[in-house]
Amino acid sequence: MNVEEQLRSDLKELTHDVPRSLNLDQVVLAGRSRRRRRHVVAGVGTCALLTGISWGGTGLVDSLTTSGRESQQLQPAIAGAHHVLPAHQLGHGKKSDLGAQDVQDFVPGTDIDEHMQTVINGHLDPGLHATVTDVYPSDWNHDGAMPDAQWQNATDWQAVYTIPGGQRLLVIMFYVRPGDSCTDGASQQAYSLNGTYFEASGRTDCQTRFGVNSILSVSADSEAQATQKFALSTAQLAAISEDNGLAFAAPINPPS
């Protein structure tokens, strides 16, 4: 055996037994953190599908599916009174006397996150046991959360809820980016991607260029199974997206 053959054989044998697998969780969290610093944030949930974990289920996945943040302390959302502030009263969202609510403060310095939860909670039956996992500001240049401190420049606000059975409810309040096309009115859509089924409802006012989308998703083997799993009907999703209480003032300094 010459030195090349010996080297080839020994290297393969030497490295054959890799003691530990790399940690996908850490890789993705580190990647997310670095992408966030580069102003390109990404969610992580689909990784769970490949590692055999349902993205509504475990603590690991809960920590990964918060769409734009590191893991949060999860607290159950309690469907409370439908406390609605009209948009003009929200001003630019500074802390106000919103009153005691069973909602969480995800973004310091503003009531928009609490207000969003209050409105959404009003549409969620307590029997659903929906849990709010995150509420965060975003803008046209971010695929996920923007830094909390910049919330005054947000063009989007997103609230993420998990519902037992691996369901996830995402509610997005947004301003349509200047130059983007705008379709006036309410609409519904159902679609699927890689085994995840989505039921969505939205409304957009092209005069104010403001809109709200509510999107329910679940992993399922088939469309029929997904339909069976969905805890909210199209009408209930529409009731959320068409609730005029979901509003926030346009950003002071919108991004370009």
Partner 1 sequence: MAEKSFHLPSSRKGIVAGRPSWETEFCAFFMTRQRTLTRTAYAILGSWHAAEDAAQQTMSSLYVYWPRIRTGNVDVYARRVLVNNCMNAFKRQSREATTSQPPETSVDVDLSAHADLLAALSQLDAKQRVVLTLRFLEDLSVREVAEILRIREGTVKSRTARGLERLRTSLETTTI
Report how far apart, in Å, the C-alpha atoms of 172 and of each of 105, 125, 136 are.
17, 20, 10
Binder among 112, 160, 240, 247 for partner 1 (CB under 8 A): 160
Binder among 74, 198, 242, 249 for partner 1 (CB under 8 A): 198
Scanning residues 68 to 97, which ones bind partner 1 (CB under 8 A)? Answer: 68
Site string for partner 1, 117-136 (x = CB under 8 A): --------------------
By C-beta, is 24 or 90 nearer to partner 1? 24
Under rule CB under 8 A, residue 21 binds partner 1: yes
By C-beta, is 19 or 86 nearer to partner 1? 19
Under rule CB under 8 A, residue 217 binds partner 1: yes
What is the residue whose two structure tokens read 């009731």? 239
Q: Could you give the 3-state DSSP secondary structure of residue 230?
A: coil
Binder among 204, 219, 238, 246 for partner 1 (CB under 8 A): 204
By C-beta, is 12 or 88 nearer to partner 1? 12
Scanning residues 166 to 185, which ones bind partner 1 (CB under 8 A)? Answer: 168, 170, 172, 174-177, 180, 182-183
For residue 215, give the nearest of 234, 228, 229 by alpha carbon: 234
Residue 114 bridge partners (DSSP): none
By C-beta, is 80 or 166 nearer to partner 1? 166
Q: How far is the CB of 65 from partner 1 (least distance, A)?
A: 8
Angle, CA 105 vertex, CA 100 and CA 108 arms, to 5°:
120
Which range, of 73-81, 97-105, 117-125, 194-202, touches partner 1 by CB under 8 A?
194-202
Alpha helices in the chain (DSSP H): 3-14, 24-37, 46-50, 59-64, 87-90, 112-121, 223-229, 234-241
Please check whether residue 158 is in contact with residue 67, taking contact to mean a CB–CB distance below 8 angstroms: yes
81/99 Cα distance (integer angstroms)? 11
